Amino acid sequence: MFAPEVIRNVVQTHPHLIYDGAACHNVYYTPPEEFFGVDAPARENERMLRTLRDRTTAKAQLHRRERFLQNLYEVSSDPTRSFEEKLQALFDLGCGQFSLELGAMATVDSDADQFEVEFVSDDHEYFEAGLELPLSETYCTAATDTGGIGSVADPVAAGYDDIHVHNEFGIKTYLGTYIEVEGDDNRTFFFVSEKPRDEDFSANERTFQRLLGQWVKYELERQQRERFLHECYEITSDPALGFEEKLEQLLELGCDRFDLEIAGLNHLPSWDGKFRLEKGIGLGLDADEELWTDPDNGCYCRQTVTEDSPVEMLDVRGTHWAEDAIYQEFGLTSYLGTKVSTGAAPYGTLWFGSTEPRERPFSETERSFIELMGQWVSYEIERRENNDSQRKLYEITADPDLDPDEKIDQLLAVGCKRLNLPIGMLTRKRERAFEIEHMHGTHPELDEGTLTPPLTDNYCRRVVNTGDSISVGDAEAAGWDGDALYHEFDLKCYAGTQVFVRGENYGTVCFTDLGTREEFTEAEQVFLDILGQCVSYEIERQQHEADLKDTIEQLERSNDRLRQFAYAASHDLQEPLRMVSTYLQLLENRYKEDLDGDAQDFIDFAVNGANRMREMVDDLLAFSRVEHADDEFDSVDCDAVLDHVTDDLRMQIEENDAEISSESLPTVSGDHEQLEHLFSNLVSNAIKYNESDPPCVEISADQRANSWEFSVTDNGIGIAPDEADKIFDVFKRLHHDDEYSGTGVGLSLCQKIVNNHGGEIWVESEPGEGATFSFTLPATRNPTQ
């Protein structure tokens, strides 16, 4: 136990040791003489007073420190203030804190002995922005020499009494920090006064100054980063620039930022091959000059393509890189490179370098910049590749010269290239397995016609069952190793999408390899889906075309049969008909005297019937003979045709006192004989179905884009509109033979002729109002004819 005297001493000198009304145990006790030192006031009450004073000072200091930190925090985190405003606030804070008159910031270069004032907190007789001096003529060397905080309270003692700033500007006191700024000029941030100072700056004041300096460094570097990112953004988002120009500007920006004079984008077309320079600056190459380089493993770009993070080299000399051809040939001494890839496939490298060794290491910021640039280039290249492959898919699908098998094969080839996989297949879903219908690339056991083993639930089966595309870079990692396609056929990676034809699951388009690969990117999966659609579309089109061909063939066969039948029937019927009429006439002539009136009438009816039937058979024969003969069309002058027709119909015209008028008619492309039939039927009908006196028929023609529209208008009995379509059917008549003779074949023949010429025929009429029959015929290809 301690004596009460000792306890009292402890309590008085270490008040904080009293806890909860009791003195804490286990405290190392220092006797007062030792604790206060030999000079300490011997009397107890004086000692107590001093302790109290010290504590008050410490408390005040703590308070000041807290307030300072609080102020610093408020200034620096204020989002409404600009950098300059914040800097000013910090100058004010420092001036108050250190009791100095002026705060300033300057760019400095120790090697070049340069100093230039950038900002000052207040108007000053000598210090103002833009002031340049040799660094050695300023107090800032106190800071730059230490690489951190420097202070001068007594210039004479510190050896600063012969510098310019002391002699000419009368500066007596200095507190400053040297700030190394990444990617920018180095700075000093300092406070000065013309008043001398009794004692040097305290540890606390130096700490404050350090904090201020840290903030300035942080801010300057942040600005620097933002400026760089902003510049990158300005370049990459400029719609007026193409990829090449953007790349060039980015490389220039990077050179500037990393302080390296050479840069390039290297492409590695095949993994074991050489790198091709796609774009380079600072190499002194012509735009069309090709440069292939081949660094050793573990050197330069060869190392960079294999690593996920940037590769750097500050000075190749003395390292194994110095043995490499790149150093030997080009003297590339410092290097910073990053990998560029398209989707999962490596594309090459984006790199910067110099023939000079580099003094300072690459900072984290610089490494992240090159990574960012590499990502942008990767993204752009993938986007371009995507567009290219998509365009290729559409071109193949739309190419009319490719036969269906070639098309599928070329589509699969584009897929293999884009997904960087050697085998592409179109599979057809069968009941239990999938049949390979097309295969691009080779597999030791699989080929066109092969049926996959039934238990393959993970590959194509899953695609058709879920209706979703599937891509797996490593089948084993995905848990597919129990699948027969994995353990029997070694398919280690897979990307497949559904082929959907006429609303039905047809099968899949899929790509695979005997080795694994990295997981598929979003863009690759989108590409796969589009490829699936192209293949689906192609198969659907093939099926439609096959169907259409079938239908046309069937139609042609049935038309042929019909034509043969119509011809044979009408031809063969003529003979017995002729016999019927001949024998009836024989009967009439030979037994005229023996026949009574009724018998005579019956024979007349029979003869008329037979005649009528012969007419019908003749017309039918004419109808079946009208053939389509597009390639044999001539230029036919319709005026001449009409003249010929009116000549033929002269009897009918004269008997009815009909008036035929026509405008000058054009020359058309057609079959002369068929057009004569056409005009003849229409003009003859126009006179026949007419009770006006006189019957008038008017023929005219109007020009259309590539055809002529003809009209034959009469002032006859007209047709009810609901009958207008029927009259073009074979044997369809609106009148009995007693009223108007005819067979009902004329207009169907007209329709067939017009259709043969690629035109249309129609009628406009009202009963009692006359009728207008209109039809179109193709214009001649040479309008002068």
| Beta carbon nearer to ligand ADP, 121 or 685 | 685
Is beta strand 334-342 parallel, antiparallel or unpaired with respect to 311-313? antiparallel
625 by Cβ neighbours in 10 Å (0-12 / 13-18 / 19+) ranks as middle
Element (H, E) at 309: none
Would you state the structure tokens that stand for residue 690, as one six-digit string?
Answer: 């007419």
Q: At what angle do helices 746-756 and 672-688 cross, to 10 degrees?
A: 140
Per CB under 6 A, does 768 bind ligand ADP? no
| Beta carbon nearer to ligand ADP, 686 or 696 | 686
Q: How far apart are CA 345 and CA 517, in angstroms?
A: 9
Per CB under 6 A, does 247 bind ligand ADP? no
Per CB under 6 A, does 686 bind ligand ADP? yes
Per CB under 6 A, does 735 bind ligand ADP? yes
Specify the stretch interacting with ligand ADP by CB under 6 A; choose among 114-122, 255-263, 369-377, 726-734: 726-734
Per CB under 6 A, does 621 bind ligand ADP? no
Per CB under 6 A, does 742 bind ligand ADP? yes
| Beta carbon nearer to ligand ADP, 460 or 719 | 719
Smallest gap from Cβ 686 to ligand ADP, in A, equals 5
Per CB under 6 A, does 523 bind ligand ADP? no
140 by Cβ neighbours in 10 Å (0-12 / 13-18 / 19+) ranks as buried
DSSP 8-class letter at 666: -
Q: Which of 60, 354, 3, 70 is nearest to 202 (CA)?
A: 60
Specify the stretch interacting with ligand ADP by CB under 6 A; choose among 213-221, 552-560, 716-724, 751-759: 716-724
Per CB under 6 A, does 716 bind ligand ADP? yes
Helix (H, G, I), strand (E, B) or coil at 622: helix
Per CB under 6 A, does 616 bind ligand ADP? no
683 contacts: CB under 8 Å, gap ≥ 6: 642, 645, 646, 649, 660, 697, 699, 712
Distance, C-alpha 9 to centroid of its chain: 83
Smallest gap from Cβ 655 to ligand ADP, in A, equals 16
Smallest gap from Cβ 693 to ligand ADP, in A, equals 16
Q: Does the bond joining 269 to the residue before it have cis omega, within 30 degrees of 0?
A: no
Rg, the chain, Cα only: 52
Q: Are 172 and 165 in contact (CB under 8 A)?
A: no
Per CB under 6 A, does 734 bind ligand ADP? yes
Angstrom distances, CA of residue 161 to CA of 133, 169, 170, 188: 16, 12, 10, 20
Q: Are 700 and 711 in contact (CB under 8 A)?
A: yes
| Beta carbon nearer to ligand ADP, 183 or 770 | 770
Per CB under 6 A, does 743 bind ligand ADP? yes
Smallest gap from Cβ 617 to ligand ADP, in A, equals 14
Specify the stretch interacting with ligand ADP by CB under 6 A; choose among 263-271, 553-561, 653-661, 732-740: 732-740
Q: Does the bond joining 694 to the residue before it have cis omega, within 30 degrees of 0?
A: yes
Smallest gap from Cβ 648 to ligand ADP, in A, equals 16
Per CB under 6 A, does 235 bind ligand ADP? no
Please report where in the chains the tokens 């396609």 appear, as a residue: 485
Per CB under 6 A, does 746 bind ligand ADP? yes
Specify the stretch interacting with ligand ADP by CB under 6 A; choose among 94-102, 237-245, 565-573, 731-739: 731-739
Q: How wide is the angle at C-alpha 179 spanned by C-alphas 174 and 183, nearest 5°?
A: 150
Per CB under 6 A, does 653 bind ligand ADP? no
Q: How far apart are CA 680 and CA 649, in angstroms?
A: 8
Per CB under 6 A, does 689 bind ligand ADP? yes
Nearest residue (beta carbon) to ligand ADP:
742
| Beta carbon nearer to ligand ADP, 508 or 690 | 690
Per CB under 6 A, does 510 bind ligand ADP? no
Q: Which residues sit at the interface with ligand ADP, rule CB under 6 A?
A: 681, 685-686, 689, 714, 716-719, 727, 733-735, 742-747, 771
